[in-house]
Amino acid sequence: MMDSWQHLTIHEAQSLLHKKEISAVELTNGFLARIAALDGRLHCYLTVDAEGALAQAQEADKRLAAGAAGPLTGIPLAIKDLIATKGLRTTCASKYLENFIPPYDATVTQKLRQAGAVILGKVNMDEFAMGSSTENSAFGVTRNPWHMDYIPGGSSGGSAAAVAADLCLAALGSDTGGSIRQPASHCGVVGLKPTYGRVSRFGLVAYASSLDQIGPLTKDVTDSALLLQAIAGHDPQDSTSAPLPVPDYAAALHQDVTGLKIGVPREYFGQGLDPEVEQAVRAALSHYERLGAELLEVSLPHTEYAVAVYYLIATAEASSNLARYDGVKYGWRDPAAKELHDMYLATRSQGLGTEVRRRIMLGTYALSAGYYDAYYRKASQVRTLIRRDFDQVFQTCQVVATPVAPTAAFRLGEKIDDPLTMYLSDIFTISANLAGIPGISLPCGFTAQGLPIGLQLLAPPFAEPTLLTAAHAFQQTTSFHRRRPPL
């Protein structure tokens, strides 16, 4: 019976729930059955909370029957496994936190519960969100539903793959340098990175605190607006949360794009861009012209420094944030160590994976005496220049359009031993995190092999309504987002 419901979006499921054509328990059972049938191959979930999800679904049915439904009542969702869920394992895909059960909910988790959502479980990721392929998880790789031998992207690969494979209606991810948008592109779903400060980070396990932002991965742009509406807003528990009112995101969906000025940065269309990706993105830009938008060539001259700046700032912040994982207070501890120094050394070297250790070492070096000015301070200054590039461009256009990644998804194992090549796969997404601006990835084509290609739209700070307007107009007149992987 679930077969006819598995492709539903949030807004379609809401309609069926309110018309009593389906119950929240039936919907949740359907997804749990699909997870049981398919996730052995895909490995999207690290924890499935069947008992908890069904209890939430029963409560949702009561609320629906009483006419007291919230905006997401009965909607089954998945959550990236670095967002705290009270009483439900939160591992960050790390051996170190394998048995960690948070005593509290993250603010976004709390908001989802208040909105009536059903939390199916926690999904796979690169360990501590450090990676672009979900191959750095301590608990095994997630596979791309479009092609099982390919990566789903990262670090929110489990979230993107679960949405693409209809193992949930939508999911939350986090984005430090493209970790929502890049896997969304590789899995053919919509991924929205909100403005830094738009969504609370309280209860998000920190990787790089000045870059991290939580956001939705969904099947279409309408669902992105609905999920963003539920999680956005000021939170006094997060000192970086913006004390600004939250607009009505759904209202932005049906605006016209006639006259919308879209900037196309020349730096994003050069060497290293796969021809199939460029062709799909150029075709999407031509489609916008047919919709009445105006394309302008613009320049973001400091883009070439973005990868270097990002991997100095992010690793420096990671070095500081991950110092707490020392085997003393909580988490895994080496049971064989007899001396304190040996315990620290063994716990961190055995409890943390290769990529996490690499980034901690890079960051510690960048912050060390004698190198701070040469590396971290200089990177922070160039970050300001990157932000100013965007400020200048947004004086002439409302949206910037670029590819999401230089290539479509690559084969599992293809780049895992070449960190530099792997880092370059984030080249088009990193700048938005450095500048703190919002970005969205939406499906705009497929390679000859049938792998999805994404278009990235960027907007000024807190201009999510503009992004949603532009993205929704594209989806209303194209069908890329309606295609489903051949599972």
Which amino acids are annotated catalytic? 80, 155, 179
Beta strands in 204-354 (DSSP E): 213-218, 261-265, 294-298
Give the separation between CA 249 and CA 194, rounded to whole angstroms. Answer: 12
Find all residues with CB under 8 Å of 218, minimum gap 6, and list them.
9, 10, 163, 170, 171, 189, 190, 191, 192, 224, 227
Q: How far is 319 from 105, CA to CA, in rounded Å?
A: 25
**CA–CA gap between residue 287 and residue 23 (Å, rounded):** 39
Evaluate whether 180 touches 217 at the Cβ level (below 8 Å). yes
Q: Token pair for residue 62?
A: 């009561």
Which residue type, as a one-letter code, is found at position 322? L
Give start and end residues of each alpha helix (H) in 140-210. 157-164, 181-187
Residue 450 region by backbone torsions, left for phi larger than 0, else alpha for psi between -120 and 50, else beta = left
Within 8 A by CB and 6+ apart from 50, the residues are: 32
Say if CB 11 and CB 226 are below 8 A apart. yes
For 249, the enclosing helix (H) or strand (E) is: none
Q: Rounded distance, CA 100 to CA 84, Å? A: 10
